[in-house]
Amino acid sequence: MRATRAALLAIGTAAAVTLAACGGSDDDGGSGEAAGPVALTLWTGFTGGDRAAYEELIATFNETHDDIQVTMEVQPWDTIAQTLPSAWGTGQGPDLATPNFDPNVIGRYLETDSLLALDAVGDGEDQINVDQLAPAAVEAFTVDGELYAVPANVATLQLYYNKALFAAAGVDAPPATVDDFRAVAQQLTGDGVYGLSLAERETIQMWPILQWLDGGDIVGDDNCSVLDSPENIESLTTWAQLVQDGVAPVGLTGAESDALFSAGQAAMQLNGPWAAPGYTDAGIDLGVAPVPTGVDGDVTLASTVPLAVSANTDHPEEAQEFLAWWTGVDAQKQFALASGFPPVRTDLADDPELAANDVVSAFAAALPSGRLYLQGVPNATEVDAEGYVPLIGEITRGEDVAGAAAAATERIDAITGCQS
Amino acid sequence: MSTDLRAGAQSSLKWILLGIGLVFALVPFVWMVTGSFRTEADLFAAPDRLWPATWSLHGYRGIWAELPFLRLIVNSFVFAGVTTLLCLLFDSMCAYALARIRFRGSTLCFWLVIATLMIPFQVTLIPVFVELFHLGWLDTYQGLILPRATSAFGIFMLRQFFISIPRELDEAARIDGAGHLRIYFRIILPLAKPALATLAVLHFMNLWNDLLWPLIVTSSTDMRTLPAGLTLFGGQHVIDHAVLLAGATISLLPLAIAFFLAQRYFVAGVATTGLK
Amino acid sequence: MSTTSTASASGARGVARRGGSAPDTGTTPRRRRIRWQPAWLFMAPSLTIIAVFIAYPIVESFRYSLYDWRVGADSQEWLGLGNYTELFGDERFWNALRVTVIFAVASVALQLLLGYAAAAALQRDGWFNRVVRSAFFFPTVVALAVIGLVWRFLLDPQIGLVSGLIERFGGDPVQWLQDPALALPTVIFVSVWKNVGFTMIILLAALKGVPAQLYEAARLDGASGWRLTRHVTLPSIRPALLFATMIMTINSLQVFDLVYVMTNGGPLFATDTLVTMMFREGFENFRIGYASAIAWVLFALILLLSALQLKLFRYRDVD
């Protein structure tokens, strides 16, 4: 029962011969021959409803570029997480990929030198115009002064509200400040309706916004948890109390939280542009408002998906040309109109076509106040899964906030390696 | 026994329990199929109904329009079918050696085979993926099929069956001058038909349903199997229930048809594997 | 049809038992000399595939578990048993171990109990029994991912059929998968629901193999009901019970798909099993070495339990 590499190759060739009749695919892995256009492979995790908009974008690129043809292979995010590290780590795999929906993952791939540092930067025709891209994303993708990815998309969260429920309760406008927010949520609660639909796990993060609104945060600049600071404990206590009072549900996933709002059983929800079509389909009389102003001004959650180039690609120039086009004015306008996502560029704010689109303009308006979740925190995925999400789960189920926050702080500090 | 009153009460209790079991076993599937024809608004408005208020095809329309459907089904059949056939051949050969030939190391081999069942498959993903890379088998049929072309479970099961076949049959054949190959093909395999049929169904079903493996090995849409291709419809943030249920219904349909056609034979077949 | 072939199979087994040993002993040395070679030829395809695609990767994963393994990195940091010592100090690991053991014990016990009950009730071969058997078996045919999806919807507090029915009859929706106290029992229920058909079929086969004379003899001795089951049926189907229990134990200790689809280990790690923890560490936190260590601890656990089960069922080979 031992396998040497030679044996492995031997049975490999034997089997390849016998199975040749089955017809293997002619996968060339993007190796560059001079003949014909350059073929680039792109792996993305854009499944579901938004996929069509990305596919149209790729089609447009291929139509307008005779010399470069991009093939997008869409697969679930967890499949990418299982295969891309090995693929890129062993010097193979796609030329381009969105390695994860979490921008913090960039650091993981840098540990194995898998990412190409993008140098085609500037305001020229085929260059990536960094100055015009969403600053939060650029900051997240820049490590030691080098840019390693561009935003494949940028989204912000806004306040969805159910106009019918608001009217029935006699509330005529969405809340404008965080205090209003809590008051309105309480006012709308009752008769089987929650004031606010909240999700704790497997979701786009909603709880960090609540903390930011109260001037709180999760991890500080020194990578140490600040959850046990007095203002954070006060904020967490306030919101956890609302949950226990039945103003918001306990323990939902993102999908369950969406279902609650779709069923007309919640008056408000913090969510991204992707949710709008589903809510309209479900027959909700939908309003989208800015997130209420917090004690330190406007703030909301921004999320961005990194689009990166393999360090081992044979076509670094063409790959970067593609990134430049993807983040360019025409592509972003097309994408925003098709998907409802705000453009990744800040210079499209005044575009009349985009301004006329309610969803796009609402979410684009929040871009300047958008903050990324756990940005730049070491091992952010673990901080989320082992520290923050369990904390929210505990305090909404009645555990003592100060104690739970102290325990979460200890855990998070161990994960980030904070020296306090 | 049937005249006994107490037995009568017992048997009606039995039927009631069986009836409850039936409802539990089947209602989820009814809900799945009818749910695939419901609109979101209908689903949210009347969660306690099993039947759509209006029938909507939007769950199926999207899937039909956006997937190379025929290709995925062919891939699924090639993957599950060819792998099952190879598995039956290789498993039965190995089981034959373990059950019918005395040789040094046979017990050790048997336990090594069984031991491979005890490690979670997920932990081997990365080494296997790297191997397939070096072989150049990613996104190919041989990459999909060959690593799966034998199974410890099948070897275990067939060995248990082969052991129960009387040795006198071998001896008689051997006196007639038959070698192992002949005994294996002419005596053991024909006698093992029910066990092989059962194993074929179990393998086919598991391979057809396998999601993780095809997702890892293939990356282009043209090489996907049906369940792997359907993962395109589960969005990260947004769930369209009808679409997901339609996908589940579609991937289940070929299996369900095969199951009900082979049901009689299958339930009988499993019943005759002679597991000791 | 099934009755006749079962009878012939069990009859054949009887013959093998009675007649097997006598001719064997005299001819063993000759056999050994001429037969070891064909054995390896017969096993070559399977063993090659197992060696290359299963055994070697498994051994490789053990190597990973001794490092802080980064896929594709040029050099790896050697930890020795560091991953294992960290694991034994990790409260998540002990939680996952507890969840896994509870899941395995509960689901194996319930599956055996319900599977046996169903098999005993459906033993006779009428058309009705056959339809009911098929219905019970059907969930086994369906992919775990589909089952997880469907039950997750069914149990959804807002749109699910179960909550809908509870509310119609005036109850409050139950937080099946949101309440940490209920999530694990709910997942166990769905797992049993799916797998009970498999157990039923295996035990049905065994029950049909029990010779009728044994029952008649026991009845003549005045045995009935539970005593008949205890002294005749259960001993006779012991080999099938062993097979079913072992396979179920191995599978349930490695439960992943169902949990991954239904709860992804939540809420508050209430359904976090060893394999979901392994998956999270390996593919979300990129700690391949640590994940491999979890797999090897699980392997040791399964090996131990399988050995115990073999001892408990006093497993003896006929061969």
Domain ranges of chain B: 68-270
Q: With CB atoms and an 8 Å threshold, state whether A27 touches B82.
A: no
Which residues on chain B place their C-beta less than 8 Å from a C-beta of chain A?
Answer: 39-41, 44-45, 47, 66, 78, 82, 112, 125-126, 129-131, 133-135, 137-142, 145-146, 215-216, 219-223, 231-240
Nearest CA in chain B to A283: B41
Q: Which range (A232-246, A398-412, B141-155, C302-316) has the least confidence?
A: C302-316
Range A397-414 average pLDDT = 95
The token pair at C25 is: 């002993």
Res A408: pLDDT: 96
Query: What's the pLDDT at C27?
Result: 43
Cβ of A45 under 8 Å from any chain B Cβ?
A: yes
**Chain C neighbors of B18, CB-CB under 8 A:** 118, 121-122, 132
B residues 141..160 contacting C (CB < 8 A): 146-147, 149-150, 152-153, 155, 160
**Rounded Cα gap, residues B3 and B13, in angstroms:** 16
Query: Looking at beta carbons, which residues of chain A come within 8 Å of C156?
Result: 256, 259
Q: What is the pLDDT of residue B5?
A: 73
In degrees, rounded to 5, the angle at the alpha carbon of residue A70 between the alpha carbons of residues A68 and A72 is: 175
- Cα dihedral A401, A406, A407, A412 sign: positive
By C-alpha distance, which of A256, A160, B244, A248 is closest to C159?
Answer: A256
Chains with 3 or more CB pairs under 8 A to chain A:
B, C
- Residues in B touching A73 (Cβ below 8 Å): 219-221
Closest CA–CA distance from residue A234 to any residue of chain B (Å): 30
Going by C-alpha positions, the residue among A172, A196, A200 that lies closest to residue A185 is A196
CB contacts under 8 A, B 165-184 vs C, are 165-168, 171, 179-181, 184
Residue B235 is predicted with a pLDDT of 76
For residue A55, CA distances in Å to A29, A340, B66, B254, C109 come to 21, 15, 11, 29, 49
Most confidently predicted of A186-190, B158-162, B268-272, C7-11: A186-190
Q: Do A265 and C158 touch (CB under 8 A)?
A: yes
What are B231-246's pLDDT values in tens digits?
A: 888 777 888 888 889 9
3-class secondary-structure state, position A71: strand
Share of residues in chain B with pLDDT > 70 (%): 93
Name the closest residue on chain B to residue A205, using Cα atoms: B237
Contact C303 B166 (CB under 8 A): no
Confidence of residue A28 (pLDDT cuts 50, 70, 90): very low
Q: For B18-38, what is each residue's pLDDT tens digit?
A: 889 999 899 999 999 999 999
What number is the average pLDDT over the span A117-135?
A: 91
Closest partner residue to C135 (CB to CB) among B26, B160, B241 is B26
Please name each of the domains of chain A with its CATH number: 36-156+303-372 (3.40.190.10), 158-302+373-416 (3.40.190.10)
Give the containing element (helix H, strand E) for A179. Answer: helix A178-188
Average pLDDT over residues B101-114: 86
Superfamily of domain C91-312: MetI-like (1.10.3720.10)
Using the Cβ of B22 and the Cβ atoms of chain C, whether some distance falls under 8 Å is answered with yes
CA C128 to CA A2: how far, in whole Å?
Answer: 52
- Inter-chain touch C51–A1, beta carbons under 8 Å: yes
- Residue B267: band (very low, low, confident or very high) from pLDDT cuts 50, 70, 90: low
Q: Rounded mean pLDDT of A394-411?
A: 95
What 8-state DSSP symbol labels residue C280? I
Q: Which helix (H) or strand (E) holds A220?
A: none
The pLDDT value given to residue A112: 86
pLDDT in tens, B164-206: 778 888 888 888 888 888 999 988 998 888 778 878 888 998 9
CB atoms within 10 A of CB C90: 15
pLDDT the model gives residue C86: 94
**Residue C283 is nearest to which of A11, A82, A201, comparing CB atoms?**
A82
Identify the CATH homologous superfamily for domain B68-270: MetI-like (1.10.3720.10)
CA–CA gap between residue C210 and residue C10 (Å, rounded): 8
Helix or strand holding residue A116 (H, E)? none
Question: How high is the pLDDT of residue B264?
Answer: 65
Q: What angle do CA A355, A360, A362 make, to 5 degrees?
A: 85
- Mean pLDDT across B104-132: 88
Say how far apart CA A349 and CA C130 lie, in whole Å.
67
Look at C61 and B123 and tell me if their CB atoms are within 8 Å. yes
Q: Does B250 touch chain C (CB under 8 A)?
A: no
Q: How many A/B residue pairs have CB atoms within 8 Å?
A: 126
The reported pLDDT for the residue numbered C202 is 81
Per-residue pLDDT at A352: 92
pLDDT for the residue C232? 86
Q: Which candidate in C71, C90, C186, C283 is best for mutational testing of the A interface (most A CBs within 10 A)?
A: C71
Contacts of B39 in chain A (CB under 8 A): 281
> Smallest Cα–Cα separation from B270: which of C15, A155, C290, C130?
C130
- The Cα A48–Cα A104 span in angstroms is 23
CB pairs under 8 A between B and C: 290
Would the CB atoms of A282 and B140 count as touching at under 8 Å?
no
Chain C interface disruption, residue of B133, B205, B275, most C CBs within 10 A: B275
A277 cis-preceded (ω within 30 degrees of 0): no
Which parts of chain C have pLDDT scores under 70?
Answer: 1-37, 314-319
Flag whether residue A49 sits within 8 Å of chain B, measured between CB atoms.
yes
Give percent of chain B with pLDDT exceeding 90: 27
Using CA atoms, how far residue C52 sits from A164, B2, B105, in Å, is 63, 59, 19
Top-confidence residue, A17 or A136: A136
**Nearest residue on chain A to C47, judged by CA atoms?**
A1
- How far is Cα B56 from Cα A371, in angstroms, rounded to an integer? 40
Compare CB distances from A251 to C51, C179, C280 and report the shortest one's residue.
Answer: C179
Give the other-Cβ count within 10 Å of A265's Cβ.
Answer: 19
Give the Cα separation of C94 and C113 in Å (integer): 28
Check CB contact of B116 with chain C, cutoff 8 Å: yes
pLDDT digits (tens, 9 = 90+) for C5-59: 333 333 333 333 333 333 444 444 444 454 456 888 999 999 999 999 999 999 9
CA–CA separation, A124 and B268 (whole Å): 73
Query: Closest Cα partner for A277 from A196, A338, A195, A332?
Result: A338
Least Cα separation, residue A417 to chain C (angstroms): 15
Contacting residues of A for B141, CB less than 8 Å apart: 19, 22-24
Cβ distance C154 to B31 less than 8 Å, yes or no, reads yes
Q: Give me the pLDDT at residue A31, please.
A: 44
Scanning A283-322 for CB atoms below 8 A from B yields 283
Specify which residues A190 forms β-bridges with.
Answer: A193
Contact A22 B129 (CB under 8 A): no
Residue C316 is predicted with a pLDDT of 52
CB contact under 8 A, B44 and A278: no
Q: How confident is the model at residue A420 (pLDDT cuts 50, 70, 90)?
A: low
Neighbors of chain B by Cβ distance (3+ pairs < 8 Å): A, C
What is the DSSP-derived secondary structure letter of residue A192? Answer: T
Mutate to test the interface with C, among B11, B83, B118 (most CBs of C within 10 A): B118
Q: How much is the pLDDT for B83?
A: 97
- Say what the pLDDT of residue C164 is: 84
Residue B220 structure tokens: 């282009």
**Which chain C residues are closer than 8 Å to B38 by Cβ?**
none
* Closest-CA distance of chain B to residue C142, Å: 7
- What type of residue sits at position A254? G
Mean of pLDDT values over A115-126: 91
pLDDT averaged over every residue in chain B: 85
Nearest CA in chain C to B119: C299
CA distance A351 to chain B (A): 28
Give C186's contacts in chain B (Cβ within 8 Å).
none
Give the chain C residue whose CA is nearest to the CA of A197. Answer: C158
| Closest chain A C-alpha to B130 CA, distance in angstroms | 7
**A3 has pLDDT over 90:** no
pLDDT of A5 reads 43
Q: What is the mean pLDDT of residues A236-251?
A: 95
Report which of residues B97 and B264 the model is more confident about.
Answer: B97
Q: What is the mean pLDDT of residues A343-371?
A: 91
Q: A73, B219: Cβ pair inside 8 Å? A: yes
Sequence-separated (6 or more) residues with CB below 8 Å from residue C11: none
Residue A35 pLDDT: 67
User: If pLDDT is split at 50, 70 and 90, which confidence band does A175 have?
Assistant: very high
Give the integer Cα–Cα distance in Å for A253 and A259: 10
